[in-house]
Amino acid sequence: MSSAAFDSMWSALEQVGRVGSGGYRRFAWTPEDRTLREWFAAECARRGLDLTVDRVGNQWAWWWDGPGTVDDAVAAGRPGVAIGSHLDSVPDGGAFDGPLGVVSALATVDRLREAGVRPDVPLAVVNFVDEEGARFGIACAGSRVLTGQLTPERALALRDVDGTTYAEALRAAGRDPAELGPDDETLRRVGTFVELHVEQGRALVDLGAPVAVASDIWPHGRWRFDFSGEANHAGTTRLEDRRDAMLGYADLVLGARHVATQRGCVATVGKVAVTPGAVNAVPSHVTGWLDARGPQEDHVRALVDELTGRAGETGAQVVRESWTPTTRFDAALGDRLRQVLARAGGAAEPLSVPVLGTGAGHDAGILATAGVPSAMLFVRNPTGVSHSPAEHAERADCHAGVEALVACVRDLTSLRAAPAADGADA
């Protein structure tokens, strides 16, 4: 039974990139990422899936028994269905954000095989690289470059905190930076993408439901604020003589909370870099990164404009590092999946399947923005917490998530009976 397969895959991942807090540090193009990519490749090989890596480094494992190749099937009007998510994490991230979608996708293949059925269109399990942007600062970098929403030039020049560029990291991971770029050949194969993901909130707990369908992703973005000052001695420099870069940063942090409250948004300044970073030296330079989101795009923009104006008065430089407009998932696809899930759950009413918006960005949102019909399934998280070791999903709900994904894939790939053991077509 694939719940056993799910459980064994889950325990195989448990220690990869685990840190003292009990959370995970799985950054793109690091040794931990390599271990995860090798694990994914082995699991796909074990299932006889045809693994291809696109120009960005995203891993696509295809199940297609023919006739012809995946590309032949797509050319013959049978565009593929892709399921999956990402394996990288934020620093101290939870176990479920990303991996739950990848493991559930592989377990879905197992369940279909156990049921003796095979897809009537090509089915892919995908692992998107660098979804969190934890190392190089741009979220969904793998799907953004794939779809042309992040240029390879900009991506290759990104640097991590040690000054290592994306290009150097790719090279160290054995990839040719010159290959990095949009990959239409890969995208053309994907007619529908469904990403299963742990819920990053408590709605399903309060609704008493294990799985929901996503409706939309809030507009959200990241801005870098650079505050300049003058290094000096913490003990011998009079206050009136100081140019303390930390003061502008402090105003940003408190201003972000104040203005977000006023404008019905959420704003976070979760990352800061200080130069020289000594307890007894007045900071000469402080960089703070603002993450701003909200249900209304114009409110988010107004929030950022107000904070940019305040910071500008101190001479700060502000650069927008990424912006994702409101993403509305394909409504017809979402309704279809609600019907499927309602039927699978024995309920007549699709309304029994909750629909949730989210403030979290996802590769499914990037693909939807690129015009690929996409959907998301959320699995209940009893803590409601994410991007933290406290992130959780009960094992029974993880298994329910697999069954939900199986039901969706069965519907989307209009399954045909698998060939009989002697190979004859059933």
Based on CB atoms, which residue is closest to ligand HGY, 97 or 397? 97
98 contact choice in Mn ion, ligand HGY, none (CB below 5 to 8 Å, kind-dependent): Mn ion
| Min separation Cβ 425 and Mn ion, Å | 40
**Cα 111 to Cα 179: distance, rounded to the nearest angstrom:** 36
Q: Which stretch binds ligand HGY (CB under 6 A): 131-139, 247-255, 270-278, 388-396?
A: 131-139
139 contact choice in Mn ion, ligand HGY, none (CB below 5 to 8 Å, kind-dependent): ligand HGY
| Min separation Cβ 242 and Mn ion, Å | 39
361 contact choice in ligand HGY, Mn ion, none (CB below 5 to 8 Å, kind-dependent): ligand HGY
131 binds ligand HGY (CB under 6 A): yes
Query: Which of 391, 381, 405 lies closest to 206 in space, CA to CA?
Result: 381
| Min separation Cβ 98 and Mn ion, Å | 5
Query: Which of 112, 95, 79, 156 lies closest to 416 in space, CA to CA?
Result: 112
DSSP readout, 3-65? HHHHHHHHHHHTTTTB-TTS-B---TTSHHHHHHHHHHHHHHHHTT-EEEE-TT--EEEEE--
Which listed residue (98, 137, 288, 365) binds Mn ion by CB under 5 A? 98
Tokens of 225: 């604020």
Compute the Cα dihedral for 170, 176, 182, 184 and give only its sign.
negative
Q: Does residue 156 contact residue 56 with C-beta atoms inside 8 Å?
A: no
**Cα 96 to Cα 94: distance, rounded to the nearest angstrom:** 6
| Min separation Cβ 219 and ligand HGY, Å | 12
Based on CB atoms, which residue is closest to ligand HGY, 220 or 336? 220
Q: What are the φ and ψ backbone dihedral angles of 38, each rounded to 5 degrees?
A: -70, -40
Please compute, for residue 112, the number of CA atoms within 13 A of its CA located in the half-sphere on the CB side. Answer: 29
Which listed residue (88, 97, 195, 391) binds Mn ion by CB under 5 A? 97
Site pattern 349..388 for ligand HGY (x: CB under 6 A): -----------xx---------------------------
**Cα 214 to Cα 363: distance, rounded to the nearest angstrom:** 13
139 binds ligand HGY (CB under 6 A): yes
Based on CB atoms, which residue is closest to ligand HGY, 360 or 368? 360
Based on CB atoms, which residue is closest to Mn ion, 98 or 221? 98
Based on CB atoms, which residue is closest to ligand HGY, 43 or 131? 131
Based on CB atoms, which residue is closest to Mn ion, 108 or 358? 358
130 binds ligand HGY (CB under 6 A): no
**Cα 328 to Cα 322: distance, rounded to the nearest angstrom:** 18
How open is the CA angle 327-360-198, to the nearest 5 degrees?
Answer: 115
Other C-beta atoms lying within 10 Å of the C-beta of residue 120: 16
Which residues here bind ligand HGY, judged by CB under 6 A?
Answer: 131-132, 139, 360-361
Which residues here bind Mn ion, judged by CB under 5 A?
Answer: 97-98
